[in-house]
Amino acid sequence: MELKLPDYIVLIVEDLDRSLAFYTEVLGIELKHRAEAFAQLETGATRLALYTREAMSDTLNMKLKAPADDAPGFELGFKVDDVDAAYQELRDNGAPEVIAPTTRPWGQRTAYVRDPDGHLIELAQDPVKPRSN
């Protein structure tokens, strides 16, 4: 078996309308299509989808608990040109803040917000490379 590049990521969400409003209006990602309890966003090669917890519970034939704020299982990372400006824009649009922009020891500048279901969203700005003379 050979695994290739990730094809899609599915976030389990409590309220599809609420999550779609966040991802389309706050983050500005375009909705590609929606069918009942499922929606797919326009995110390029690796697709991002939303699926309700109730529907996933039915799919798996088991009850699923919502993740706790202090026990995230993963983060979604998005590259941005200016992490400070992107973070401020998301805060202004109502995204719950987690960590303000910070320059990491490896030189990357990052910040974190949460979506309505508590999933972590990282904004990452690549380090500025020094100009050579």
Predicted confidence at residue 15, as pLDDT, reads: 96
- Domains of the chain, earliest start first: 1-66 (3.10.180.10), 71-133 (3.10.180.10)
Predicted confidence at residue 66, as pLDDT, reads: 85
**What is the tens place of the pLDDT at every residue in 82-96?**
999 999 999 999 999
Predicted confidence at residue 59, as pLDDT, reads: 94
Residue 132 has pLDDT above 70, yes or no: no
**What is the tens place of the pLDDT at every residue in 16-43?**
999 999 999 999 999 999 999 999 999 9
- The residues, ordered by sequence, that sit 6+ positions from 120 with a Cβ below 8 Å of its Cβ are 72, 74, 75, 76, 98, 112, 113, 114
Predicted confidence at residue 100, as pLDDT, reads: 97
Looking up tokens 């309220």 gives 15
Give the C-alpha separation, 117 to 66, whole Å. 8
**Residue 110 β-bridge partners:** 102, 124
Decide which of 128 and 46 is more confident. 46
Q: For 128, what's the count of Cα atoms within 13 Å in the CB-facing half-sphere?
A: 6
Tokens describing residue 15: 């309220």
**What is the tens place of the pLDDT at every residue in 38-85?**
999 999 888 999 999 999 999 999 999 888 878 877 789 999 999 999
